[in-house]
Amino acid sequence: MTTTQPLELLAPLSGVLLALDRVPDPVFSSRLIGDGLCIDPTSQTLCAPLAGVISNIQDSGHAVSITDDNGVQVLMHIGLDTVNLAGQGFTRRVVEGQRVEAGQVLIEFDADYVALNARSLLTLMLVVSGEPFTLLAADNGVVAVGQPLLQVSPGEAAEGAEEEEGDALFSKPLTLPNANGLHARPAAVFAQAAKGFAASIYLHKQTQSANAKSLVAIMALQTVQGDTLQVSAAGADAEAAITALVELLAQGCGERVTAPAEEVEVVAPVSSASVLRGVCASPGSAFGQVVQVAEPELSITEQGSTLAAERAALARGLQAATDALQTLQAKAAGSAQAQIFAAHQELLEDPTLLEQAHRLLDEGKSAAFAWNSATVATAKLFQGLGNALLAERAADLADVGQRVLKLILGIQDSAWDLPERAILIAEQLTPSQTASLDTHKVLGFVTVGGGATSHVAILARALGLPAICGVPAQVLALANGKQVLLDADKGELHLDPNLAEIEQLETARKQHVLRRQREVAQASLPAITRDGHHVEVTANVASLQEVEQSLTLGGEGVGLLRSEFLYLDRNRAPSPDEQTATYSAIARALGPQRNLVVRTLDVGGDKPLAYVPMDSETNPFLGLRGIRLCLERPELLREQFRAILASAGLTRLHIMLPMVSLLSELQAARRILEEEALALGLSELPKLGIMIEVPSAALMADVFAPHVDFFSIGTNDLTQYTLAMDRDHPRLASQADSFHPAVLRLIATTVTAAHAHGKWVGVCGALASEALAVPVLIGLGVDELSVSVPLIPTIKAGVRELDLDGCQTLARHVLGLEEASQVREAVRRYRAATVETSPVVEH
């Protein structure tokens, strides 16, 4: 070991220091990438914490690493999930291989843009080469850029670089499926897995190679989706290493990938220059021609004529806009568009906005000037609040502002003369623009602004059109008429698509559209198997809006109302009246013939609630979660019971307790419910059931069954607790599979116990929303499938293709298999055989 002077790392930014444990991203907080610290930035320039060479700077400009002469390697990562911004908001000031001084500017970033468009601005500084360090600044304190922050002891890194020894084995080439290539998160997962083998391992991309155990080396390969990669290894466990790592790559290294590797492999690799990346706002794909959409500049005179004339002009403009919005709402009745235009209409009546405009009129300004200034100022205010949702509402305000402005100025909105097969490209598409589109001619949207929750995204999904947003601004320079391929599932716009890609995506798109149309058209039909067995298909919801949407998509009730999500973005508890009103509105929407299953607050673990403060726990998933927390704070539960009970006569009311693991929890909750029902003078209790999401509850289902009216199986938690795999762990994502026979056996135990006591069983975890799982769940005897709203038609259609008899044989078969992948394979074979020909199960 060499002895070298300790090295001081300077603060790369000004801001507030946070311990790594507090970063809400397990890849960083678990130190998978490396140990270090986190800064919540107050400055917008990232500077070098040490002198050295830029060993990697990501094309997207959100991450950079420096290696000093002693091999100390420091990675800085600006924000969380910022790779999705595809470079937008970042300006690189250095290049790879460049030598930099400590304190030198590396990257400038637009903090507002990043805060609004990415998950978080939290910036990480990690010693990825593994040397120990001590903190020089006070933990949780404020730091200034350039201030000494860490003292690193060089020469003490756990592992050094290694050479490939002996004859290396090479894997077959494979195509990288990750939408953003191997950026920090998947690269860390891959490097971590490689470190588990003694062999020396390299990852190859064309002529470049990277030490597979080095995160920075992998990131330096600058891989992109579609790259052809190979893994090589030399040493005793080389073969095992290659098998494991190739599988890990194919599965996305902990990231969700849109297509299995075999399917991706047939797509020709694409060079990064021919693809522009954004994020998926609405799924699907399309091949068409570029149509650039630009708003004309409006000329506004500042000075008004008489006050009376300008007031009248503003009033006329507002009235005409209200009329137009009402017509649009009527046309789109019941859809997402209608709600957006209702919100626009509300903005027109906003007193603060009108007050601002009138103040300017009183100062002698024109109606157009006054209205425009008021809307622009308010939109800016929304944008500056650091809240992504409000920022998106700013786009709505700009849209409605423009509508009124044109009416005041007497500018007619000319209907767009669109060519066939148009892919619309815009800085930002407004809801008004999208609503007036001829959807027969438009195949998709691509925008520079907007997010997955923007109204344009909602509209695109409602129209069933593929859309991506957050695409680099260079998209605005594409020539009208250029043929492009929009692959929204992957968040990509291909500028030079080849024929094979086009044909493949076109076929998939047509099949998808036809299938979806058929499923939606038949959504109101009941889910009855070919041999006459009815399965209830209900919705998992978190809002009244979702309940309404579920009814239009054939939902037969609500199988899971996640009540904690009704008030997620609040820092004060909703008042009892507010809670009552929310539940009653949902109950009324469902009516007396449908089930409403309200789950009581399921707070804790992955779902902290701002207005229910909790002590920090070492392992929140095993701590005071769900019913445990509610029984600790019975006043919360009492209040919620009272609010729910107010809906008793309005619907078929069910109350469900989450995370029950002991019979005593159910009994304690039932006592409280009975007391509250009595106090309200109710003669009959609503149905009371429990979620089965802890193995103890499943194994003891026969003990619970006499005390409940129903069970609903939460396969998300049941899987994590059965397999002891954190449901959010990036590396375990592919193994924490609810198709595992262990989970299925617990479902079988639960169903048998429930049916023996005449009680029904639902599944409300994500497994129920997987079409592939439906035959197994039906075969196991599950009575109700509560699924995510958009999937209701698909799951119902899936049930109608099956036979109960065949499903039961299949279920018996899969319970005896060894692992999840075998179950998936068995179901695939079963479906292929039954859907196309007669029901046969292969054993």
Residues of this chain that interact with ligand PEP (CB under 6 A) are 560, 562, 602, 693, 714-717, 764-765
Q: Look up residue 260 and give its DSSP letter.
A: -
Distance, in Å, from the CA atom of 626 to the CA atom of 607, rounded to the nearest integer, reads 10
- Listed in sequence order, the residues at least 6 apart from 643 whose beta carbon sits closer than 8 Å to its beta carbon are 576, 579, 580, 582, 583
| 3-class secondary structure, 608 | coil
Q: How far is the CB of 712 from ligand PEP (least distance, A)?
A: 8
Least spacing, CB of residue 549 vs ligand PEP, in Å: 19
Q: Is 455 a catalytic residue?
A: yes
| Under rule CB under 5 A, residue 717 binds Mg ion | yes
β-bridge partners, 205 = 208, 229
The count of chain residues that interact with Mg ion, using the rule CB under 5 A, is 3
Q: Pick one of Mg ion, ligand PEP, none as the site partner of residue 715 (Cβ within 5 to 8 A by kind).
A: ligand PEP
Q: How many CB atoms lie within 10 A of CB 226?
A: 23
714 touches Mg ion by CB under 5 A = yes
Residue nearest to Mg ion (CB): 717
Sequential DSSP letters for 1-57: ------EEEEPSS-EEEE-GGGSS-HHHHTTSS-EEEEEEESSSEEE-SS-EEEEEE
Q: How far is the CB of 717 from ligand PEP (least distance, A)?
A: 3
Q: Which of 455, 494, 654, 740 is catalytic?
A: 455
Q: Pick the catalytic residue from 630, 764, 807, 813.
A: 764
- What is the closest distance, in whole angstroms, from the C-beta atom of residue 715 to ligand PEP in the complex? 5
Partner that binds at residue 14, options ligand PEP, Mg ion, none, CB closer than 5 to 8 Å by kind: none
Judged by beta carbon, residue 505 or residue 718, the one nearer ligand PEP is: 718
Q: Could you give the CA distance from residue 276 to residue 11 in angstroms, rounded to a whole number? A: 34
For residues 827 and 814, is the Cβ–Cβ distance under 8 A? Answer: yes
25 binds Mg ion (CB under 5 A): no
Residue type, 329: Q
Complex with Mg ion: residue 564 or 693, whichever CB lies closer: 693
Q: Tell me which of ligand PEP, Mg ion, none is bound by residue 399, counting a contact when its beta carbon lies within the kind-specific cut-off of 5 to 8 angstroms.
A: none
User: Least distance to Mg ion from the beta carbon of 698, Å?
Assistant: 13
| CB 256 to ligand PEP: min, Å | 16
Q: Which residues contact 765 (CB under 8 A, 6 or more apart)?
A: 693, 713, 714, 715, 716, 717, 718, 719, 738
What are the angstrom distances between the C-alpha of 381 and each of 38, 116, 257, 373, 627?
Answer: 29, 13, 37, 12, 41
Q: Strand, helix or coil at 331?
A: helix
562: partner contacted, choices Mg ion, ligand PEP, none (Cβ within 5-8 A by kind): ligand PEP
In 3-state terms, what secondary structure has residue 722? Answer: helix
Query: In 3-state terms, what secondary structure has residue 825?
Result: helix
Least distance (Å) between residue 722 CB and Mg ion? 13
Looking at the Cβ atoms of 458 and 764, the one nearer to ligand PEP is 764
CB 317 within 8 A of CB 366: no
Give the one entry of ligand PEP, Mg ion, none that residue 120 binds, where binding means its C-beta sits below a cut-off of 5 to 8 angstroms depending on kind. none
Token reading at 743: 């989970």
Residues 6+ apart with CB under 8 A from 524: 554
- Catalytic (active-site) positions: 455, 764
Enumerate binding residues for Mg ion (CB under 5 A): 693, 714, 717
